[in-house]
Amino acid sequence: MEHYNMNLTLKVWKQKNSSAKGNFENYQVSNISSEMSFLEMFDVLNEKLIAEGKEPITFDHDCREGICGACSMYIDGQPHGPWQQNTTCQLHMRAFKNGDTIVVEPWRSKAFPVIKDLMVDRTAFDRIIQAGGYISVNTGNAVDANAIPVDKRNADEAFNAAACIGCGACVAACKNSSAMLFVSAKVSQLALLPQGVPEKETRVLNMVAQMDKEGFGNCTNTYACEAECPKGISVINIARMNREFLGAGLNDEG
């Protein structure tokens, strides 16, 4: 693959805190390698700003391996940028052309208030998990891996749901800021396995209640969440969660 350098204009959202009024600011970056990752390009920009005595741009990151989901940036109107099933840290500058203007924003959701600049508070997801995204087991030695038989199809579907990294791209992509794809993935990965069955009814009721409490919007089946998910989580999980929720609600009333 041909390597080249480029000069770019970055239009980046700057906001001091959740209560402050934010605005876009323009930055110029030069001689950016096409083989740099998007976050490496931001590192170069921040080093330049620090050298000039200016405040660097705040953004969230951790593993930079597409695993943690921290690198939440809304790039040119798409969560994590133009490449499909890709996190921002895995996005490389060859996705852009010399002279491009790139618009970078934080996730936009009432449930994800801005901490500063491009960093948002996603602890709403943590509270949803705390509401029911776990199983209760007796402590002691680990159970043998083959002690509980699991249907192959269920195991595969649970594994696919568990691939969710909780980045929030589904919320950012949704016109309603819905968290249904995230919550349904967490419900599915446990409901499909024998270990998660005993608590599956209270789990789905509690997690959905917490999701609503956090202020996420409703799902209107536009499938933007699946299209923008860096791990390709399927909306089939939403249908499964709806069935689980309806069944749990009927049993709860009974």
Indicate if 240 and 162 belong to the same structural domain: yes
Residues 6+ apart with CB under 8 A from 89: 37, 38, 39, 61, 63, 64, 65, 66, 71
Please indicate, yes or no, if residue 195 is contained in any of the structural domains. Answer: yes
**Helix (H) / strand (E) containing 240:** helix 236-253
Please indicate, yes or no, if residue 112 is contained in any of the structural domains. Answer: no
pLDDT in tens, the chain (254 residues): 678 999 999 999 999 999 999 999 999 999 999 999 999 999 999 999 999 999 999 999 999 999 999 999 999 999 999 999 999 999 999 999 999 999 999 999 999 999 999 999 999 999 999 999 988 877 677 777 678 889 999 999 999 999 999 999 999 999 999 999 999 999 999 999 998 999 999 999 999 999 999 999 999 999 999 999 999 999 999 999 999 999 998 876 65
CATH number at residue 214: 1.10.1060.10
Both structure tokens of 70: 């921290």
Please indicate, yes or no, if residue 44 is contained in any of the structural domains. Answer: yes
**Whether the Cβ atoms of residue 186 and residue 203 lie closer than 8 Å to each other:** no
Indicate if 94 and 137 belong to the same structural domain: no
Indicate if 128 and 213 belong to the same structural domain: yes
User: What sign for the dihedral angle of Cα 217, 221, 227, 233?
Assistant: positive
Both structure tokens of 178: 């819905």
CATH number at residue 54: 3.10.20.30
Indicate if 140 and 241 belong to the same structural domain: yes
The model carries a pTM of 0.93
Please indicate, yes or no, if residue 183 is contained in any of the structural domains. Answer: yes
**Whether the Cβ atoms of residue 188 and residue 235 lie closer than 8 Å to each other:** no
Indicate if 141 and 75 belong to the same structural domain: no
Q: Show the domain range for 75.
A: 5-105
Q: Into how many domains does the chain fold?
A: 2
